[in-house]
Amino acid sequence: MDIKAVILAAGKGTRMKSETTPKVLHEIMGKTLLGYVLDNVKNFVSEEFVIVGHHAQEVETFVKNNYTDARTVLQTPQLGTGHAVSMVCPYLENFDGVVLILCGDTPLIKEETLKEFVNFHLAQNSDLTVMSTIFDNPANYGRIIRDKDNSLKCIVEEKDATLEQKAVKEVNAGIYCLNWGKVKSAFSQLKTNNAQGEYYLTDIIAWGKEQKLNVNAYILQDSNEIYGINSRINLAQAGKIMNKRNLEKYMQNGVTIVDPDSTWISEDTEIGQDTIIYPSTYIEGKNKIGKNCKIGPCAHLRGGVEVCDNVKVGNFVEVKKSRISSNTNVGHLSYIGDSELGEHVNIGAGTITANYNPITKTKSKTILKDNVKVGSNSVLVAPVTVEEGANIGAGGIITKNVPSWALAITRSPLKVIADWVKIQMSK
C-alpha cells in the first residue's frame, strides 16, 4: 500500500510571540518541531507534502535543505485546516493509496505509533480514521462525538461545542488516515458555517458518515504524544517530556545517567552500553557515542559528534561536528570543533581548536593523528594537521602542520628577575 503524508505547517503561531521564526521551526534539543514530524514518517511513506503559509520561505528552505522526499505546498490565503489539505489535491489527482495527515507542531508523536495507526486503519478496512485520546482537561481540543452505539459521529471544535459536548473527554489528536480515492472529494464540499468561518478538516468525519463510508477512531493511549506546541511554555514542557522519554530509553539500554534531572540528551543520539553521562550535560542534535565512555559533568555536545569507545570528554568541554577515536581523553575546559582526533590522543585542559575565520566566515578542520599529546592552554589554528606521536607544549599556538614524533613549542623563554617584588615594595 502506497502511503503519502501531508503535514500542516502553515499556521502563524501567534502565541509563540516570535517575529522571526515560524512556530514549526522552533527547536527542542537542536531539532525543529517540523523536523521531528518529518523524521517520524519518512521511513514508511513515499512522499511528504508540507503545507506552508506563514513565513513560507523559511519553512520551504528548511525542507529543501534537509529532506529529499518532501515538497512544500503554499496555502494562501489560509482559510483553515480543511483548506490546507485541499492544496495537495492537484498533486494527488490520480493517487489511490493512503494519505496520512499530521500537524507540524507535534514533535512527541512516535514513528511506532504512526505505524500502528496506519495498520489499524488497514485492519479495520476503514475509509477514514481519526486518532483520538483521552484528556482529563480537554480544553482547547476538538471533541470526539459518538452515537448511542458508540460509533464515531463527528468532531466538534471547542468554539462550536455545546456545554454538553465540552464535557466530553475524548478529543481529536489531529492525525488522520484516509483512503484518498474515496475521501478526496470531501475537500471540495466542506462548508464554513462555524465560529471561525473556516474550512475545518474535522468536518470530513461527518461528511464520511453521510457518504456511508467506514469511519473509525483509533484511541491513543499515551496522550503526551500529541502534545501540541502553541507557546514557549508548551515548547519547554514538550522538551521535558521528550527528554524524560529519551533518558529512560538510554538507561534501559545500559547507559548510566547520574542525574536525570539535570541531563539532556537528544533522541537522535546513539549511546553504547556502560557509558556514564555525568550531571548537567547537554547533548543535542545527531551524535554517536560508543561504549565505556565518560561524558561530563557539564559537557556540551552540539551535534555531528562521533565519540568512539573508551573516550573521556571532561567537565566543561564543548564538542561540535568532530570525531574522537577510541581511548582518547579530552581534558576539561576545552573546545573541539570540526576536528578529527585519533586513538590514544590526550587533550590538555583549556585546549582550543580555532576552527572559524571571522573574515571569510569559513570553518576549517583540525586533524590530530594517533598518540598525539597536546599540552594545556594550547590553540590549534585550523586548517592544521598534527601527525602521529607529536607533542604540543603547554601554551602552544599551532599554525603549521607538525610532523610525526616532533615537539612543537611556541612559548617565550622564561625570565626570572631576582628580588623584583622586594624592589617594587621599597619604592
pTM tops 0.75, yes or no: yes
Q: Are residues 123 and 45 in the same domain?
A: yes
180 and 55 in one domain?
A: yes
The CATH number that applies at residue 69 is 3.90.550.10
pLDDT, average across residues 67-91: 95
Distance CA 322, CA 295 (A): 15
Q: Which cell is 330 given?
A: 579530552
40-44, 138-142, 283-287, 379-383: least confident range: 138-142
As a whole number, mean pLDDT of residues 214-229 equals 94
pLDDT at 193 over 90: no
Is residue 1 pLDDT above 90, yes or no? no
- Tell me: the pLDDT tens digits for 350-384? 999 999 999 999 999 999 999 999 999 999 999 99
User: How does DSSP classify residue 241?
Assistant: H
Q: Residue 238 falls within a domain, yes or no?
A: no
Domain that holds residue 55: 3-226
Q: Is the pLDDT of residue 196 over 90?
A: no
Alpha helices in 163-300 (DSSP H): 163-166, 180-183, 203-210, 232-252
Return the pLDDT at 12: 85
Quick one: 31 and 120 in the same domain? yes
pLDDT at 385 over 90: yes
User: Across residues 105-126, what is the average pLDDT?
Assistant: 97
Mean pLDDT on 136-154: 89
From 192, 226, 260, give the residue that closes a domain: 226
Residues 192 and 269 in one domain: no
Kindly state whether residues 188 and 266 are assigned to the same domain. Answer: no
Asked if residue 423 is part of any domain, the answer here is: no
Mean pLDDT of 230-258: 97
Q: How many domains, the chain?
A: 2
CA atoms within 13 A on the CB side of 186: 28
Question: Is residue 61 included in any domain, yes or no?
Answer: yes
Instruction: Give the pLDDT confidence of 310-333 residue by residue, as tens digits.
Output: 999 999 999 999 999 999 999 899
Mean pLDDT for the chain?
95
**Dist CA 291 CA 302 (whole Å):** 19
Reported as a single tens digit per residue, the pLDDT across 264-307 is 999 999 999 999 999 999 999 999 999 999 999 999 999 999 99
> Residue 208: is its pLDDT beyond 90?
yes
Instruction: State how far the Cα of 274 lies from the Cα of 291, in Å rounded to an integer.
Output: 6
- Residues marked active site are found at 332
